[in-house]
Structure 1
């Protein structure tokens, strides 16, 4: 008998779902991926999670993970051979890196994303506060620029959980005023983001899948 697989309810362009898929992929996990339309939420999604948004991961045990960061942590709890959680410290100076990484992610999730939504809405609706909202976002981009000037990724010369968690939202930021972004004083952020957008991993994670329907064969989403 085949071992049952976790089921991931996802939406291709949702940044929260995107970072969940990134973690699942690079940690080498396999899930049943159910692409959904939020305008036609399947009953199975609503049964698993009353919030009715994605991502949602339903484990074979019946446990339901409703937050993207929890899904990422689950993926790396299964396998973290490339030290995305920064648990494999190299020297005494690295002892607090995992804690600092979690703090930075929490700051971006609780502060930056709200400001990003204001910025995106201002562009969409031609709000005169556009430049103000952009400047509020830039405070956080400056933090990333400073880190990326020191090494290839946010915490070292290899990627970690924070890189995967933040990249989809920086991608959104870069698309609001594309020409301004390309001329902006954040060359390291552009380098970092482009390295993901041009990668084979991103192509795999952003593959298009048909909308899931009950009774149709499940789509397997497997990592490397």
Structure 2
């Protein structure tokens, strides 16, 4: 685990991320807050590309909790059976859809606690929805961010909550909104797990990690 980088270094890192991609976007396809919740819930232990492939047709027929309940668990299962853990995920989506209809009037709640009360929705999922739909500077820490945060010193921490707090505490406020997207994309495509592409890294000179690129 690298030590926390100093403020001036953090500013320079995120200034470079911003210059390279001013408005980074999440890669999960959705059409409203509800479909975003469903997509993120389905993405656990699955790739965004795999989820998108399954949900393109699903969201054409079920883009509201009411339509999802009408589709039913078996109907939903047919759409998402290419996704890992699809049976349990189908149960969770039907349950969370019912709760949204019965307890929230069909509208997705916009507090972290309310979102986390939904079946299959954890802190990371809640933070993704808060960030992507309501533009709240929530930090959704996945395996990519956990790795990048610790490897680079951008957000060191022993667990995902510690890394989340390190981002909130140390990333300059004007970069908080997009911080988790920049870090996810950096970890997904450049600072990869086994063989980071240090030669292609735009923050290579600011990173304390030993260059493992041949």
- TM-score w.r.t. structure 1 length? 0.25
| Bigger proportion of residues as helix | 2
